Amino acid sequence: MKDGRMQVKGIIMVLGSLNDSSGNLSSIALSRCQQAATLWRDNPDWSILLTGGYGDHFNVSRWPHVHYLKDHLIRHGIPQEKILEFAESRNTIEDAALSKPIVVSDGAGVVVVITSDFHLARARFVFSKEFADTGVPLLFIGVPTDEDRCELDLAKQREHERTALEKLMEE
């Protein structure tokens, strides 16, 4: 107990996004990292779990996407020892499946999943289903997307998210 409050062991999970072929993070990835850094500064005892490996739709560079996320967060004040092993995933379903054993073995009492606003509904559905048997509470933050800086066609991306979620719900 600290300051009369119980301390809960938590994990801040940053879902992968885009980077270019040179490893430069997209505005989407940068906004997710900024949210994670802000949350970590309020909860410095928590750990950070990063997701994202390779995929034609988000990373064709030399290194897995998580490598660039980690470098960015360390350059912005997150201690390296606060970053857990990676979940080198190719998509949202793998984000959840590969991160689950890391979360369980860490013994986290809560996980805050950070993604983008347009991806929030599908991420919530996938993670809630995958983590249902863990008893670990999941909280979700959908970071607002800056439409002026976004590298994606957001109308197409929102439609993709809608149809992908519908398909998942039918399974």
Sorted by where each begins, the domain ranges of the chain are: 10-170
Q: Determine the average pLDDT of the residues in 29-34.
A: 97
pLDDT band at 5 (very low <50, low <70, confident <90, very high): very low
pLDDT, residue 153, reads 79
Q: Which of 24, 20, 76 is nearest to 48 (CA)?
A: 76
- Give the pLDDT of residue 3: 55
Condensed to tens digits (0 to 9), the pLDDT of residues 42-89 reads 999 999 999 999 988 888 899 999 999 999 999 999 999 999 999 999
Q: How far is CA 132 from the centre of its chain?
A: 18
Greater pLDDT, 120 or 56: 120
| Beta bridge mates, 141 | 114
- Classify burial at 81, counting beta carbons within 10 Å of its beta carbon; exposed 0-12, middle 13-18, buried 19 or more: exposed
147, pLDDT greater than 80: no
Question: What does the mean pLDDT of the chain come to?
Answer: 93
**What is the domain class of 10-170 according to CATH?**
alpha beta
**pTM of this structure:** 0.92
Q: Helices 120-130 & 92-106, crossing angle to 10 degrees?
A: 50
Give per-residue pLDDT as tens, 124-136.
999 999 999 999 9
Per-residue H/E/C for the chain:
CECCECCCCEEEEECCCCECCCCCECHHHHHHHHHHHHHHHHCCCCEEEEECCCECCCECCCCCHHHHHHHHHHHCCCCHHHECCCECCCCHHHHHHHHHHHHHHHCCCEEEEEEEHHHHHHHHHHHHHHCCCCCCCEEEEEECCCCCCCCCCHHHHHHHHHHHHHHHHHC
